[in-house]
Structure 1
Amino acid sequence: MPHGLDHIVHAVRDLDAAAEFYRRAGFTIGARNRHAWGTHNRIVQLKRCYIEILEVAEPEKIVPHGARSFSFGAFNQDFLAHREGFSMLILNSSNAADDARSFEAAGIGGFKVFDFGREGTKPDGTPVKLAFSLAFASDPASPNLRFAVCQHHFPENFWDPAFQTHANGTKAVPGAVMVADNPADHHIFLKAFTGVTDLNSSSIGVKARTENGDIEIMEQVAFRGQFGISPEVAGEGMTLPALRFEVADIAPVEALHRQNEIASQRHAGRLVIPPDFAHGATLIFEPPKQG
């Protein structure tokens, strides 16, 4: 079964500073959450997709990777030793255990399912139980980016329209954009990870269309032509420089950014916040597609 977007990990060195950036960019930000393994996060929730702003706040609690266990904390700690930005692409799952077996059979897995829970808080302050299961995947050619699918065990306690109302008018994430020297080199991984067997290939790159957003891989020159930004490439394989956000009209978003001193810029009908301002990420605001 194909997987759509679930969330993106935005690894940062200062969680509150990054949350303040997102607030000034027009997003509603959740409270600080703490993980037992040393990372803290704050959430930007959209329709069926969210951004997990993540800091390694308690490095003494980070556990190393095991033979068949992927350490979420250790990977992001290593990532932050070199850069800030989008470190993990996580898709949705209805059965993480089945997906873990599928990833292993396809040669992109081999990790134990990671189960965890924490207490969440509704907008009115009511505490609720949250629990998740993650099945991790790896593209050996892309050591600087990690992948997973996430099964929500209490989705009714997590997704909340009150957290999905944003001053910039963003309602959804129509896609995540990866960059690689040769996108076609990663099409086998992309098929196995997304479950989309019929990928769309063009001169721009390779794209998996899912029920919840496009997952595409572009060459650097194509990314620059589409968004006006030259993505930083660190090492081999794929990186995840950008997320796309759908807004009804980019003009009021631009006005909000100017008011809040956010250095966004127009390019090819889009409004783009560059990575040197957005803690290593590129945020792209665009109107809905016609037709």
Structure 2
Amino acid sequence: MSDMRAVQRKISPVLDHVVINVMGQLDEAAAQYVRLGFQLTERGHHTLGSSNNLAIFGTNYLELLGYLPGRETMRADLWTHPSGLSGLVFKSVDADRVYATLKDNAVPVMEPMSFARPVELPGGAQDARFKVIRVAGDEVQNGRTFFCHHDTPELVWRPEWQTHANGATEIVEFVIASQQPARTAALYERMFDAPLLTPTDGGFSFSAGAATIFVLDPAAVADRYVGAALVSPDGTDRMVALVFKVASLDTPRAVFDAAGVSFKPYADGIIVSHADAANVALGFTA
């Protein structure tokens, strides 16, 4: 590939959204996240068979993904992952360019796939349309890494959905626990080209728009997030924690106190245990 073509193909990591796999527990997970002070969109239903509720922030969002009764065999590949954080999703500005770039970089990748989700609006339902480009094979353990191209971003980032009682304005950290951080992080350097990774205590990090992605060994995760996050008992990688930006920590503290939700201080703010947030540790930082 020529140098000019390489420049044209180069893509940058920008977090689009995160996926929390709740399987058949959508109602229970949604109730947990409302209790934690997130405003959720109405239940959406993908044309592929899965269903979701979203919490929309400034440039990224959180997706609670599961299935309705009787639909557990639709998109069955999704439900083989453990419940909890299971999707790291980057923005795509050109699905074909992302696909070609990943192939050029020797990353196993599936061809772009299109689907839609009806969105109920005051003027009637409209279809939010997407294309996803997913890293294939076993490159990602216990979850998925993919790109999302929004054909209709105006049906996702709506101002009336971006205000949350806990004050969250953005996802600013996504955390992967890995016994071999260098191996796990190397995938992302292949996807986006070096130099990408910054060494940090217990692993590596890299910037992805408003967020920083951390790949840390389990001991570093336990230390940094004061034991609030899960790790895999079998030693495989696990996506385990998120951190949200808030203007003041007083706002989430008041929500959690009113709801009777326990939280602990950690180096950068406060954190809620995975036990209270559908198997994901949730940090809040000002």
TM-score between the two structures when normalised by the length of structure 2: 0.88
d(CA) in 1 for partners of 2:144 and 2:238?
Answer: 9
User: Residue in 2 aligned with 1:262?
Assistant: 261
- Check whether the contact 2:110–2:136 (CA below 8 A) recurs between aligned residues: no
User: Cα–Cα, structure 1 residues 168 and 60, in superposed 2: closer, same or farther, change >3 Å?
Assistant: closer
Instruction: Supply the distance in 2 between the matched residues of 1:193 and 1:178 (Cα, whole angstroms).
Output: 17
Match of 1:77 in 2: 79
* Structure-2 residue corresponding to 1:94: 93
- Offset at residue 210 of structure 1 (A): 2.5
Percent of residue pairs identical: 22
Q: Give the superposition deviation at 1:126.
A: 3.9
Relative distance call for 1:38 and 1:235 in structure 2 (3 A) is farther
Report if the CA contact (8 A) 1:26-1:168 is conserved: yes
Counterpart residue number, 1:214: 212
* Stretch deviating more after TM superposition (176-185 or 196-205): 196-205
Mapped contact 2:109–2:136 kept (Cα < 8 A): no
Which amino acid is the alignment partner of residue 261 of structure 2? I
More divergent stretch after superposition (185-194 vs 277-286): 185-194
What is the RMSD of the two structures over their aligned residues, measured on CA atoms? 2.0
Secondary structure, in 3 states, of the residue corresponding to 1:276? helix
Aligned partner of 1:43 in structure 2 is 54
- Judge conservation of contact 2:243–2:284 (CA < 8 Å) in 1: yes
TM-score with structure 1 setting the length: 0.87
Cα distance in 2 for partners of 1:157, 1:195 equals 32
**What residue in structure 2 maps to residue 34 of structure 1?**
45
Q: Do residues 3 (structure 1) and 22 (structure 2) align?
A: no
Change (3 A) 1:126 1:52: same
1:215-267 superposed Cα distances (whole Å, 9 cap, x missing partner): 11011111111110253215454311011101122123112101112222222
2:196 corresponds to 1:233: no
Q: Specify whether residues 263 and 139 from structure 1 end up closer, same or farther in structure 2 by C-alpha distance, changes over 3 A only.
A: farther
Give the SS at the match of 2:275: coil
In 2, Cα distance between the equivalents of 1:55 and 1:118? 14
Could you tell me whether the CA contact under 8 Å between 1:116 and 1:132 is conserved in 2?
A: yes
Matches within 5 A, 1:124-273: 124=122, 126-138=124-136, 140=138, 142-194=140-192, 197-229=195-227, 231-273=230-272
Separation (CA, whole Å) in 2 of partners of 1:59 and 1:89: 27
CA distance in 1 between partners of 2:279 and 2:25 (Å): 12
Deviation at 1:29, TM superposition (A): 0.6
Deviation at 1:48, TM superposition (A): 1.2
Q: CA deviation at 1:195?
A: 5.1
* Stretches of structure 2 lacking an aligned partner (at least 5 in a row): 1-10
- Alignment partners' CA distance in 1, 2:192 and 2:73: 29
* Aligned twin of 2:30: 19
2:276 alignment partner, SS class: coil
| Whole-Å separation in 1 of the counterparts to 2:110 and 2:98 | 11
Cα separation, partners in 2 of 1:151 and 1:243, compared to 1, 3 Å = same
